[in-house]
Amino acid sequence: MNYGSNESSVTEFILLGVSIFGKTRTFLFLIFSLTYCTILIFNITVMSVILLDQTLHSPMYFLLLALSISETCTTFVTIPKLLVTLLTANPSISFAGCAVQMFSYFSLGANNCFLLVTMAYDRYAAICHPLQYQVLMDKRVCAKVISASCVAGCLIALSLDFLIFKLPFCGPNGIRHFFCDLSPVLQLACTDIHLTNTGVVLVCAIVLLGTVISIFVSYIYILLAILRIDSSLGRQKAFSTCVSHASVVITHFGCASFVYLRPKSASSLDLDTLISLVYVFLTPLLNPVIYTLRNKEVKLAIEKLLRNSFCSQKC
């Protein structure tokens, strides 16, 4: 990709998405900053507990650790820049910086999708094939799947970056969003974008619909296996292990599908900005809360970690 191409006279973009907040920008800066600190505290707590507690060294929790790391990195890509733009009179981002931000955001987003698919398969293996679970989902398998998810995410983001930034940009340079998202940047290109837009939608559809269908198929087999369990307590226990994951899937894919798979218009960009805000803040905030509140093992591990920390300080 030749980001410094002579075809492009635009050297920077202006992020106009925060303009929809008007005079509330300072107030929102405080709210978003507090929320971001909470996100970091929650996710770092979950990551620390999984790493430090030996009882959580299982495939399910390694995948949760990978998801927490990936989602925390996603917030690094978008939220700090948003906080800066809320307090800046001229919130700009360089042309190359925009390309890097878009690549980072979509590589991590695709990685999250693939991790959620793997977590669904993990639940399928545990419930449908409990005797073979240790073979189907051991640590080496988890490591390979996590690595493959990262590589696949990078390749998908690279294809999106190539489709967008091979186009000529000669002005205007105002992006109606708080970060370099696909449609707001694409609409600034000085050429016919119909073919490129089709390619972008196709890539997004393959990733989102492909992963959703994979998760749906896993849950069909899980549901059938749960219905075959004789004990009501056993059915409840098996079902409860899937509720947290299902809640995260609904939030993640609901927001992503609404933004990237529905038809676009100039008037829909402000709505996309608001939905993206919900996605960027709500998903990494809810995930550790959902998995902690609905998981006794994680709650016990957190209590033990806090108790040991308190005792070591007193001693």
Domain spans in the chain, listed from the N-terminal domain onward: 12-314
Give the residue-averaged pLDDT of 74-79.
94
Residue 309, pLDDT score:
67
The pLDDT-based confidence of 2 (bands split at 50, 70, 90) is: very low
Q: Is the pLDDT of residue 3 over 80?
A: no
Quote the CA–CA distance of 180 and 185 in Å, as a whole number.
Answer: 6
Q: What is the pTM of this model?
A: 0.89
154 or 248, which is more confident = 154
pLDDT above 70 coverage of the chain, percent: 92
58-72, 103-117, 246-260, 301-315: least confident range: 301-315
90-99, 109-118, 208-217, 301-310: least confident range: 301-310
| 8 A C-beta contact, residue 110 and residue 148 | no
Residue 241, pLDDT score:
72
Residue 153, pLDDT score:
96
Quote the CA–CA distance of 35 and 39 in Å, as a whole number.
Answer: 6
Q: Is the pLDDT of residue 19 over 60?
A: yes
Quote the CA–CA distance of 80 and 32 in Å, as a whole number.
Answer: 10
Task: Please report, as a single letter, which amino acid is at residue 169.
Answer: F
To 10 degrees, what angle do helices 59-86 and 25-52 make? 160
238 or 86, which is more confident = 86
| 8 A C-beta contact, residue 239 and residue 226 | yes
Q: Is the pLDDT of residue 291 over 70?
A: yes
CATH topology of domain 12-314: Rhopdopsin 7-helix transmembrane proteins (1.20.1070)
Q: Is the pLDDT of residue 89 over 90?
A: no
Quote the CA–CA distance of 312 and 306 in Å, as a whole number.
Answer: 10
Residue 215, pLDDT score:
94
